[in-house]
Chains A and B, each alone.
Chain A
Amino acid sequence: MSQAKLEFLERSKYFWNPGKTQDWQDMGIDLVIDRREGYYLYDMDGRRLIDVHLNGGTYNLGHRHPELVEVLKAGTARFDMGNHHFPALARTALAEALAACAPAPDMKYTIYGAGGAEAIDIALKTARHAAQKRKIVSIVKAYHGHSGLSVKTGDERFSKIFLSEDTQGEFVQVPFNDLNAMEDALKKRDVAAVIMESIPATYGFPMPHEGYLPGVKKLCERYDVFYIADEVQTGLMRSGEMWCCNRYGVEPDIMVTGKGISGGMYPIACVLVSEKCGGWLKEDGFAHMSTMGGAELGCVVAMKTLEILQRPAISTMVRYVADYIRNGLDDIMSAYPDFFVGIRQHGLIMGLEFNHEQGAKPVMKHLYDNGVWAIFSTLDPRVLQFKPGVLLTQKDAEDLLRRVEIAVSLARDEVMGKKQRWT
């Protein structure tokens, strides 16, 4: 590590976040991201990493995608954040663009937040208003953000520390893939909404069983509950379709998108709601306000993101990247079957499963040492989140697999001891 980086890390601990800065050093990840371009990150000491973390899909199109940079720059010639009190050209234009590719035909309005958590809060408030009920059901180990309401839907790991966990019994959690538990939670008809990531990201991408998500949607219909699809990490073509919930045959009542919607260039998050849910927008349109929510520059970038993602070549790209990476990972898995034990996959949403309760951590570390950045799943560290971007090049995909093979081999030896080589 360079002297400059050492000094920087000290300042980071002093002025920014001592715990987080130190934790990464303890895990052997001394990354300070400096330059970034496409799917490459460059550490401040110059080392290059292929990014398959993408910050939860934020960099789905790559870092600083040239068209997004261009549209943001050009956008500043006309727009700034805008005034959230008034009808605004860019906000309405993005709402129209989203309505045109919405996951359900009756989705109509878009409400904006400055980030995903705020958008989740908007979704929950919207559902509560429409249902005139308070209860929210999410899954055990869910993760939907850190704001007032969103944090209550998730694991207590993030709420208790701030004394912000639910104490009123308004937030119920049920195990994923368990329709009976879901029905038990809903059948009293006192629930406003079920909030569901189509594939729970931070929980290591456990895949929904066949019929689970449509089953939840049916239960919602039966018990007058709204279905909120959190598509922040799974949306935007990562499943091969614009919205992952549609791949499972679910048409949600409310949908939240964030992160990748503006390619990491300008913060914005969006909540799409059906006419039925959006009643408050007529009753009292000023009821939720956000100065930075729906900033018009963010809208301009998001429209370009949607345009790029809807180019016909993209869905082919997603298939090629998904098939090719899977094919290569299958080879690696068959070479290290005692350690690399499973792949969870839907398109470019992938979780690599290792045969150790913290198995993804050494893999992450060795990947880091070998020029790849992927992160373990906070709520299931057996699983490495592996999220290649939709525009990954063939060259980088090949290089990525080469590096993964090396890292898995080293991590395996570290965890399980040197094995007798069969060669």
Chain B
Amino acid sequence: MEPQIRNLVDISSTAAALQGHADILLERARWATTVFQRYDRQTTMNIVDAVAKTAHENAAYYAEWAVRETGFGVVEHKKLKNELTAYPLVDYYRDEDYVNFKIDEARKIVEIPRPAGVVFALTPSTNPIATVNYKIIIALMTRNAIVISPHPAARECCVDAANKLAAAAVAAGAPEGVIQIIDKPTIPLVETFMASEKTNVILATGGTAMVRAAYSSSNPAIGVGPGNAPVFVDSSADVVEAAKHIVNSKSFDNSILCTNESVLITLPEIEKQLIQALRAAHAYICDEDDVTRLRRLLFHERGFNIECIGRDATWIANECGIRVPGNTRILIAPITHIGVEEKLSREKLCPVLAMHVASNRNQAIALAKATLRMTGAGHSAAIHAQDEQVTIKFANSVEVYRVVVNAPCSQGAAGYETHLPPTFTIGTGYFGRSSVGENIGPHHLVHWTRMAYNTKESMNVDRYRELSQGFNGPLPTAPSDGVPGSASARRVVTATVHSQNSNQVDATTREQIRRIIAEELRDILKK
């Protein structure tokens, strides 16, 4: 008979149990980052590169798994995103240095990087693996430890992927526990992690409720709000190119990125031409009846029908009885209102794009702003135009922190196909009730201690370049005395700083002194 583990008294849902569970993981992370902060830049980057390699090699494997587990998105596009969050992400920040002192001779300032420490990261079900990759990599680049809380709907693939990346990191020399993931996340457990004083910063990507909970946790948080990107196609645009970009973007991973275009706004003079170009790019333009059906399918009383998240255009058309050609990539729903009276002007994480024809440019901008008043403040918008007067006016008016110009918004706002920082956490800033308005990157996970000299004093801070930065690497392994192979005399007692500076007491002399004192002591004790 095999012994079985029985739980006669179940306390698993009590505050004490949740706290106990969180404490151990977070404290292990604290130890890991403490040791990690002894590492130099080269070692750090070797670890980052090893993790990126593993992420890249497994991009397809986890793309397939994520789609299978969540039912969201397109394998091929998820693979691409998983790859983008490996090498390209690392390469984007490769030349940034988050490890060494920064020396500013002119201002006589020396800056010392101070990693956040323990990063608690929520990852969504929509972009599970890409977000796991991305958050792990930015944490490692800055020598932080990270504890990931996966969305329950994408738990299995995330746990497997994070453990694989953790193993790769440790194999490359990272301290054990630098990457951890919660096996069985529950809301009370996640709240416990968020509120723990052992958490230094929360990186919250996910639903609004979770993001608000992160901000309410009492810990520093970088949380981001939802998107609802308007895209304006101006009369000065290259309409054919614009249509291609929009369809590519909207169909990319079935619109599961929060940066996807939600409402297309255009002008009467190019309406026909644009529709033609959209059709040519395999968009299906709905008629009034289709729009009614779509609205009914996509929006329930309580909000967006999650069944439709990340589904492809033909699946959605089929679900609501719209007959579309088999090669349809997106559905376009013409609407005549933007705002509370038109549900289709809300965020839609599926390849359905609302379309509204404005009477003029001013009205178009007003409609774009109205779209963002629904949701998506601080997030993203796109414009297709050749006239810079128009683009600047648009960008200066809409309340977002990134405006993608003449490019697909899904990818472009997240830093792919544009030179914005590649990210899976879009800072929605003050417009969007967030602390950061940029694309979140490694620089958000490190603060700097700044040493500042008197402006009047002459001081060459360049001297700091020659000083040790205390990169001692991993801790030496403590001995297990008596266990074969565990050396007990593992460390020659090194000459201390004291002895170097002073009366040239070398090791031999000190050993002699030690012996003399010991003998004297023995004599005293004998008496």
Contacts and interface: CB of A to CB of B under 8 A. Distances in A.
Interface in B460-500: 475-484, 488, 491, 493-496, 498-499
A210 B484 contact: yes
Contacts of A394: 27, 30-31, 34
A100 B5 contact: yes
Q: Which interface residue of B27, B34, B176, B177 has the most chain A CB atoms within 10 A? A: B27
A200 B264 CA distance: 77
Nearest to A101: B3
Interface string A381-407: 000000000010111000000000000
B177 A67 contact: no
A78 interface: yes
Main secondary structure of the interface of B (DSSP, over half): loop
A422 B502 contact: yes
Main secondary structure of the interface of A (DSSP, over half): helix
B306 interface: no
Contacts of B103: none
B172 to A, nearest CB: 17
A342 B237 CA distance: 79
Contacts of B11: 67, 70-71, 74, 304
A78 B483 contact: no
B501 A323 contact: no
Interface stretch (A20-28, A130-138, A187-195, A330-338): A330-338
Contact of B20 (A65, A78, A213): A65
Contacts of B329: none
Contact of B16 (A70, A79, A323, A338): A70
Contact of B505 (A95, A212, A240, A422): A422
B514 A74 contact: no
Given A210-B484, A422-B505, A416 B16 contact: no
Given A300-B8, A308-B20, A324-B475, A337 B3 contact: no
A323 B20 contact: no
A168 B177 CA distance: 55
Interface stretch (B149-157, B383-391, B441-449, B517-525): B517-525
B20 A337 contact: no
B31 A316 contact: yes
A345 B481 contact: yes
B503 interface: yes
Contacts of B175: 320
A252 B494 CA distance: 40
A71 B9 contact: yes
Interface in A282-330: 300, 303-304, 307-308, 311, 313-314, 316-317, 319-327, 330
Contact of A303 (B8, B17, B28, B499): B8
B481 A317 contact: no
Given A311-B24, A313-B25, A347-B480, A67 B31 contact: no
B480 A93 contact: no
B8 A346 contact: no
Contacts of B177: 313, 316, 320
B510 to A, nearest CB: 7
B318 interface: no
Contacts of A319: 176, 477-478
B31 A320 contact: yes
Interface in A190-223: 199, 207-213
A224 B501 CA distance: 62
A75 B484 CA distance: 43
A89 interface: yes
A417 B177 CA distance: 45
Contacts of A323: 475-478
Contact of B478 (A96, A211, A322, A356): A322
B451 interface: no
B5 A96 contact: yes
A2 interface: no
Contacts of B514: 337-338
25 contacts: A66-B20, A69-B16, A71-B9, A79-B9, A208-B482, A210-B482, A210-B483, A213-B482, A240-B480, A248-B482, A300-B9, A308-B24, A313-B25, A313-B177, A317-B24, A320-B31, A322-B478, A324-B31, A324-B35, A326-B479, A344-B481, A393-B27, A395-B30, A422-B498, A422-B501
Interface of B: 3-11, 14, 16-17, 19-20, 23-25, 27-28, 30-32, 34-35, 175-177, 180, 475-484, 488, 491, 493-496, 498-499, 501-503, 505, 510, 513-514, 517-518, 521, 525
Given A97-B6, A240-B480, A422-B501, 11 more contacts: A207-B481, A207-B482, A210-B483, A313-B177, A324-B34, A325-B478, A327-B478, A338-B517, A395-B30, A422-B505, A423-B498
Interface of A: 65-67, 69-71, 74-75, 78-79, 89-90, 93, 95-97, 99-100, 199, 207-213, 239-240, 247-248, 300, 303-304, 307-308, 311, 313-314, 316-317, 319-327, 330-331, 333-335, 337-338, 344-347, 355-357, 391, 393-395, 415-416, 422-423
